[in-house]
Copies of this chain bind each other. A is one copy, B any other.
Amino acid sequence: MSLLNTPATTGIDLSAFSAKLDDARAASLELGATTTQKKNEALVEIAATLRANVAEIVEANERDIDAGRANGLSDALLDRLALNPARIESLAVAVLEIVGLADPIGDNVRGSTLPNGVQIAQVRVPFGVVGAIYEARPNVTVDIAALALKSGNAAVLRGGSAAQNSNQILVSLIQRAIAAHGIPEAAVQSIDEFGREGARALMQARGQVDVLIPRGSASLINTVVTESKVPVIETGAGVVHIVLDETAPVQWSVDIVHNAKTQRPSVCNTVETVLVLAGAADRVLPAVGAKLAESGVTIHADERARVLLPDAVPATEEDWETEYLSLDIAVRVVDTLDEAIEHIRRYSTKHTESIITNDLGNAEYFLNRVDSATVMVNASTRFSDGGEFGFGAEVGISTQKLHARGPMGLQELTSTKWIVRGNGQLRP
The reply to whether A231 and B231 form a contact with Cβ atoms under 8 Å apart is yes
**Minimal Cβ-Cβ distance residue in B for A415:** B401
Across the interface, A415 reaches (CB within 8 A) one of B252, B369, B402, namely B402
- Closest beta carbon of chain B to A157's beta carbon, Å: 19
If A114-B388, A251-B424, A427-B388 touch, whether A402 touches B233 (CB-CB below 8 Å) is: yes
Stretch at the interface among A84-92, A174-182, A316-324, A370-378: A370-378
Q: In the bound complex, what is the Cα–Cα distance between A417 and B420 (angstroms)?
A: 30
Q: In the bound complex, what is the Cα–Cα distance between A363 and B421 (angstroms)?
A: 9
Q: In the bound complex, what is the Cα–Cα distance between A424 and B407 (angstroms)?
A: 21
The reply to whether B405 and A417 form a contact with Cβ atoms under 8 Å apart is yes
The reply to whether A32 and B255 form a contact with Cβ atoms under 8 Å apart is no
Q: This chain: how many copies in the complex?
A: 2
Stretch at the interface among A62-70, A162-170, A296-304, A379-387: A379-387
The reply to whether A417 and B375 form a contact with Cβ atoms under 8 Å apart is yes
The reply to whether B390 and A418 form a contact with Cβ atoms under 8 Å apart is no
- Closest beta carbon of chain B to A33's beta carbon, Å: 5
- Closest beta carbon of chain B to A205's beta carbon, Å: 12
Contacts of A210 in B (CB 8 A): 401-402
The reply to whether A263 and B427 form a contact with Cβ atoms under 8 Å apart is yes
- Closest beta carbon of chain B to A301's beta carbon, Å: 23
Q: Is A419 part of the contact surface with B, judged by Cβ < 8 Å?
A: yes
The reply to whether A376 and B128 form a contact with Cβ atoms under 8 Å apart is no
A118, A251, A252, A401: most-surrounded residue (chain B CB, <10 A): A401
Q: In the bound complex, what is the Cα–Cα distance between A259 and B229 (angstroms)?
A: 36
Q: Which of A216-246 contact B (CB under 8 A)?
A: 225-226, 229, 231-233
Contacts of A249 in B (CB 8 A): 424
Interface string of A115-128 (1 = CB under 8 A from B): 00010101001011
Contacts of A375 in B (CB 8 A): 417-420
If A372-B417, A383-B118 touch, whether A229 touches B225 (CB-CB below 8 Å) is: yes
Q: Is A53 part of the contact surface with B, judged by Cβ < 8 Å?
A: no
The reply to whether B427 and A382 form a contact with Cβ atoms under 8 Å apart is yes
- Closest beta carbon of chain B to A374's beta carbon, Å: 4
Interface string of A85-118 (1 = CB under 8 A from B): 0000000000000000000000000001010001
Q: Is A1 part of the contact surface with B, judged by Cβ < 8 Å?
A: no
The reply to whether A422 and B376 form a contact with Cβ atoms under 8 Å apart is yes
Q: In the bound complex, what is the Cα–Cα distance between A32 and B370 (angstroms)?
A: 10
Q: Is A80 part of the contact surface with B, judged by Cβ < 8 Å?
A: no
Contacts of A125 in B (CB 8 A): 371
Q: Is A4 part of the contact surface with B, judged by Cβ < 8 Å?
A: no
Q: Is A256 part of the contact surface with B, judged by Cβ < 8 Å?
A: yes
The 3 closest A-B pairs by CB, nearest first: A379-B422, A401-B415, A382-B427
**Chain A interface (Cβ < 8 Å from any Cβ of B):** 25, 29, 32-33, 112, 114, 118, 120, 122, 125, 127-128, 206, 210-211, 225-226, 229, 231-233, 249, 251-252, 255-256, 259, 263, 345, 354, 363, 367-369, 371-380, 382-384, 388-390, 400-403, 405-407, 415-427
